[in-house]
Structure 1
């Protein structure tokens, strides 16, 4: 079934447009994104001159900070550069093979029906030595109960393969546990990509504890004064980086294409 014909495609499209309309009014969330992108990309030399492809752009906060990025999504949003199902990236004619320096995605992998298939296809578009940079939920002592019991997206550690059984909509279908399992508890899944990526060179990082939740996230705004949030965010970042198993709520991975 094509993703645009799934049951909740229209619902997810409308939700994304609503979230985009309020995005920049959430100053704390925009600061969170700015610091995230700084951590992800500041160590990539001349990043602003690189050819960068974002997968699952959705509300598109990255484009605000890095206008040169090519934005994409499966949702038909008229402000994006390319609309397509990222599972078909290997056959995407708009992007020549071996032409991209960086492919990036934030909280997208756990929505994909077959993330290993996507990552394999994405490697065809990366230059040799190019990077695929992703951010996904990390399950620590602090974040596990928040993600499992308070967040609306499902968490299922009982899967035997890194795939989603059903797809109801691009946003509505997910398993937050899947990327964590791929990179931490079921690395045998990741070894399926050993021909496409130099897995020994993979770089992992950790980002924030409860700082994202304190913004209200993408769909709401919590009344935390911006001056207070600015003071707290560096502390939150240090806790996540120093003690990830206790505090971290997100991890990043830099995969290097062969």
Structure 2
């Protein structure tokens, strides 16, 4: 379940979503990341492609067939789920993408086991993670 940390509240996620689209550089960085995801997903087998941690983003605008998810209850999601207990059958996902999410998962090993269980043969897991630098703190502020 989501923690009680302010960063993990639905209201905070929606504020971040507005910030992402209102800051030109940050929005361009998200679009660039979504381009990487789109290119990766082209090389996946047919089937369900899942974005984990979709809350603050807008990938579905660029890739309408993506299934969106988050641990929080947020509008317009396809699934509310915990990445450490994916509600999918073995070998049922063609691809998983995550932007700025992996470092929020309490037990990364558990998630990686779940991703491995759920991904089809030749399925892809693509994660983009932030670097904590002075520049990234300036951009995300």
Report TM bin, short chain.
0.7 to 0.9
1:68 counterpart (65, 68, 71) = 65
How far did residue 30 of structure 1 move? 2.1
Does the 8 A contact of 1:102 with 1:132 survive in 2?
A: yes
Q: Distance in 2 between matches of 1:11 and 1:129?
A: 33
Q: Distance in 2 between matches of 1:23 and 1:135?
A: 16
Normalising by structure 1, we get a TM-score of 0.48
1:134 counterpart (122, 127, 131) = 127
Query: Which deviations, in whole Å up to 9, do the C-alpha atoms of 1:12-37 show, x marking residues without a partner?
Result: 22111122234333333222112222
Q: Distance in 2 between matches of 1:20 and 1:136?
A: 17
Q: Distance in 2 between matches of 1:76 and 1:85?
A: 11
Kindly report which structure 2 residues correspond to 1:221-240, keeping only aligned pairs within 5 A, or say none. Answer: none
How far did residue 138 of structure 1 move? 4.3
Q: Secondary structure at the match of 1:87?
A: coil
Normalising by structure 2, we get a TM-score of 0.81
1:124 counterpart (117, 130, 139) = 117
Q: Secondary structure at the match of 2:42?
A: coil
Count of aligned pairs between the two proteins: 140
Does the 8 A contact of 1:108 with 1:136 survive in 2?
A: yes
Structure 2: gaps (5+ residues):
none
Structure 1: gaps (5+ residues):
152-212, 221-258
Query: Which deviations, in whole Å up to 9, do the C-alpha atoms of 1:147-193 show, x marking residues without a partner?
Result: 8xx84xxxxxxxxxxxxxxxxxxxxxxxxxxxxxxxxxxxxxxxxxx
Kindly report which structure 2 residues correspond to 1:140-151, keeping only aligned pairs within 5 A, or say none. Answer: 143=133, 146=134, 151=137
How far did residue 43 of structure 1 move? 5.0
1:37 counterpart (34, 37, 41) = 34
| Pair 1:136–1:11, CA change in 2 (3 A) | closer
Q: Once superposed, which parts of structure 1, at least 4 consecutive aligned residues long, lie more than 4 Å away?
A: none
Rg larger in structure: 1
CA RMSD, 1 decimal: 2.6
Give the structure 2 partner of residue 17 of structure 1. Answer: 14
Give the structure 1 partner of residue 52 of structure 2. Answer: 55
How far did residue 99 of structure 1 move? 1.8
Q: Distance in 2 between matches of 1:9 and 1:71?
A: 22
Q: Secondary structure at the match of 2:22?
A: coil
